[in-house]
A and B are shown apart, each in its own frame.
Chain A
Amino acid sequence: GAVVSQHPSRVICKSGTSVKIECRSLDFQATTMFWYRQFPKQSLMLMATSNEGSKATYEQGVEKDKFLINHASLTLSTLTVTSAHPEDSSFYICSASPPLPAGGQGDTQYFGPGTRLTVL
């Protein structure tokens, strides 16, 4: 399947600092990428939809000034957690879909390996 990478895989930071997480589609171009957050033993919650060349679409309850998303190219989206606090500690996962094949219906989302953020 398609490959999506994330960097870093793990980050520990002090409260008040900002952290940037990168999501890259390695073997396909993705006009849309998605950012999810997962708390321990819970499901994935969609935070925002990242659109190349335009503003991200945030889900209800997600602070856009807190979680800055930049989709600078067709293969890269970044999530910046600004002024991080301990409650922002979580597992952040991005996903992307390859372009839809002609005549096909499948548009599987492929996920990055995730980034575990710990804010002290």
Chain B
Amino acid sequence: AQKITQTQPGMFVQEKEAVTLDCTYDTSDQSYGLFWYKQPSSGEMIFLIYQGSYDEQNATEGRYSLNFQKARKSANLVISASQLGDSAMYFCAMRGPRGYQKVTFGTGTKLQVIP
């Protein structure tokens, strides 16, 4: 079974500052994938970044980077230079081995960017 834990129900960050959203996971699979999604108040789920369990380098996508620490089973999302439009719910998610597409979501972190 897969389990995703997000321990921060809410976070505040000053505009232009960096922020780290925590995510830990538990799985018995050797191969798995980790995702971060953003959900603004409109409700749509926006894909941000993906990290494969065998990827040796941390994933980066623009202002988003994933701090992947496999031994600690953590996959924190780092947002650099926060913008007001970053205010949203952020969900960490994982799937099992490649080809097994079922995804488990964490409980989410509500990020608010302060001007």
Residues of A within 8 A of B (CB): 1, 32, 34, 42-44, 46, 49, 91, 93, 95, 97, 100, 105-114, 116
User: Once the chains are docked, how many angstroms separate the CA of A44 from the CA of B94?
Assistant: 13
Q: Is B72 an interface residue (CB 8 A)?
A: no
User: Once the chains are docked, how many angstroms separate the CA of A95 from the CA of B47?
Assistant: 11
B78 to chain A, nearest CB (A): 19
Contacts of B101 in A (CB 8 A): 32, 34, 49, 97, 107, 109
Contacts of B108 in A (CB 8 A): 43
A1 contacts B98, CB within 8 Å? no
Contacts of A106 in B (CB 8 A): 33, 50, 52
B99 contacts A100, CB within 8 Å? yes
User: Once the chains are docked, how many angstroms separate the CA of A90 from the CA of B110?
Assistant: 20
A35 to chain B, nearest CB (A): 12
Closest 7 CB pairs of A and B: A111-B45, A105-B52, A113-B44, A114-B43, A43-B105, A44-B105, A43-B107
Interface extent on B, as a size class? 20 to 34
User: Once the chains are docked, how many angstroms separate the CA of A49 from the CA of B101?
Assistant: 9
Q: Which of B13-53 contact A (CB under 8 A)?
A: 31, 33, 35, 37, 42-47, 50, 52
Q: Smallest CB-CB separation from A46: which chain B residue? A: B102
Contacts of A49 in B (CB 8 A): 101-102
The contact of B99 among A93, A107, A113, A114, by CB within 8 Å, is: A107
Most A CB atoms within 10 A — which of B43, B47, B54, B105?
B43
Most B CB atoms within 10 A — which of A32, A108, A110?
A108
13 A-B contact pairs sorted by A residue (CB < 8 Å): A32-B101, A43-B91, A43-B106, A43-B108, A46-B104, A95-B103, A107-B98, A108-B50, A109-B47, A110-B47, A111-B47, A114-B44, A114-B45
A107 contacts B33, CB within 8 Å? yes
Contacts of A43 in B (CB 8 A): 91, 105-108
Per-residue CB contact flags for chain B residues 80-115 toward chain A (1 = under 8 Å, else 0) read: 000000000001000100110111111110000000
User: Once the chains are docked, how many angstroms separate the CA of A16 from the CA of B95?
Assistant: 36
User: Once the chains are docked, how many angstroms separate the CA of A82 from the CA of B11?
Assistant: 39
Contacts of B56 in A (CB 8 A): none
